[in-house]
Amino acid sequence: MKSRITGLLFFFALLSTSEAFSQRFLMDLVDTTNQMGKGMLSIYERYNRVRISGYIQPQFQFITKKGAETYGGGNFSAQSNNRFMLRRGRLRVDYAHLNEHSDPTSYFVFQFDGTERGVAIRDFWGRFYENKFKIFALTTGMFARPFGYEVNLSSANRETPERGRMSQILMRTERDIGVMLTVTSRKSIRFSQKLKLDVGVFNGQGMSGPMDYDSHKDIIGRFSLKPSKITALGGATISAAVSGYAGGITSQSPVLYRTKVNAGEYAMVRDSSAGNYLKVAPRNYAGADFQISFPNKRGETEFRLEYVRGDQTATFASSETPGVYPVTNGAKDPLYVRNFDGAYFYFLQHLGSLEHQFVLKYDWYDPNKRVSGTEISSARGFNKADLRYDTIGMAYVYIANESLKFTFHYDFVRNEKSALTGFETDAPDDLFTCRVQYNF
């Protein structure tokens, strides 16, 4: 028994990474490296390789107009500008199997989310490892897409109440059903072996719909540098990655819309070519992200940034990927293809101790880069789905103990001025959130 425990400790010490980043990243949970590194020994000794964890997030919100639309936890009802809600209530079970050499052979996770709106599956996946070269692992089921940083940032550890508008629109619900190959060394902690490649094939619509509505599959990949301490930068920890998404939606209508020059100006142009039926309309993204954290005497200073651009296929009313194929009065709706870009920047600063933290975030999402301002009009075929949004968020986070956290957050949300009715100026949708998080 003693030799097995020693082997476990050695194995997970090799897998572990910087504490500044390790517990925050959903891809680390999928990879099981840090999750197992923190909890596997206690799982093995006490619970026969099973671990149960969870958290709840009760919160109060106030928005500047009744019935406003928001990406801060869902739209408000028509006669409400404030609400109590249970944003998330998660229960997670992990199970690990080890061989006679204390190497992991398989890992299984399921997680449920229960709120006043119902109960839904969040994670339901398994992973198995090859232990000859200790390089490859394969994950199957429903799990986090391997794209970007914020998409994979755990809601239990994220400093802001929600992911940014771009992250929510492009990767609605964050997770999808598919299979993913992970390539990374589990033998050494040398710098050259801090590289990691995740490549997966997924249905595409994620958890936003009940089933896959076409045969086209999306390929998603992320090549990353794991968190690494750089002595030359005063002990700063850095991580970085590039991500790619090659996918699309099969058109079930003979009509597609794209933003093109028409009569000397950009407009949403109808294309009714016969070849559009069953044609794959693109969802192609490219992104890069970078994080750096500087240690202080009583905490750290951290900067994060991420940029994404590409082509997004959605509907007339929204640039979100539809969860079900859009239908009106029994007829299949046309799809809309837009060229987009977006980014976010974080500044995080501990205030004299690890218990107090200041958060400043700026993000933008431009769903249609080819038009702006008064060019966006209903006469040209555009609507609110083509508007750019810029958001500045400020927060104070107080971590009372390892099981209790308070967040006070305010979002200043600004849409671009346009020729659309109701959006000639900025629509009132600034949002304040007060949240308590309990976890175990």
- pLDDT value of residue 3: 43
- pLDDT value of residue 10: 37
Q: For residue 251, what are the CA distances in angstroms to 213, 334, 351?
A: 11, 7, 52
Q: Render pLDDT for 21-40 as a digit per residue (tens, 0 to 9).
A: 334 555 454 444 444 454 55
Task: Return the exposure string of 239-267: e unless at least 16 CB atoms fall within 10 Å of the residue's CB, then b.
Answer: bbbebbbebbbbbbbbebbbbeeeeeebb
Q: Are 23 and 33 in contact (CB under 8 A)?
A: no
* pLDDT exceeds 90 at position 436: yes
- Specify the pairing of strand 335-350 against strand 256-262: parallel
* pLDDT exceeds 90 at position 47: no
Domains and CATH numbers, the chain: 2-439 (2.40.160.10)
Identify the residue whose tokens are 């199957």: 140
- pLDDT value of residue 9: 38
- pLDDT value of residue 381: 96
* pLDDT exceeds 70 at position 44: no
- pLDDT value of residue 243: 98
Mean pLDDT throughout 112-129? Answer: 92
Among residues 417, 420, 333, 415, the alpha carbon closest in space to that of 68 is found at 415
Mean pLDDT throughout 423-427? Answer: 96
Q: For residue 201, what are the CA distances in angstroms to 135, 150, 342?
A: 19, 20, 24
Mean residue pLDDT of the chain comes to 88
- Compute the distance between CA of residue 338 and CA of residue 166 in angstroms, rounded to an integer: 14
Q: Render pLDDT for 54-73 as a digit per residue (tens, 0 to 9).
A: 999 999 999 999 999 999 99
- Compute the distance between CA of residue 54 and CA of residue 105 in angstroms, rounded to an integer: 25
Mean pLDDT throughout 116-138? Answer: 92
pTM: 0.88
Q: Render pLDDT for 239-298 as a digit per residue (tens, 0 to 9).
A: 999 999 999 999 999 999 999 999 889 999 999 988 999 999 999 999 999 999 999 888
Among residues 182, 184, 164, 183, the alpha carbon closest in space to that of 174 is found at 164
pLDDT > 90 in the chain, percent: 74
Which of 5-19, 150-164, 173-187, 270-284 is the least confident region? 5-19
Mean pLDDT throughout 323-339? Answer: 94
pLDDT > 70 in the chain, percent: 88
* pLDDT exceeds 60 at position 45: no
Higher-pLDDT residue of 17, 352? 352
- pLDDT value of residue 209: 83
Q: Which helix (H) or strand (E) holds 39?
A: helix 33-46
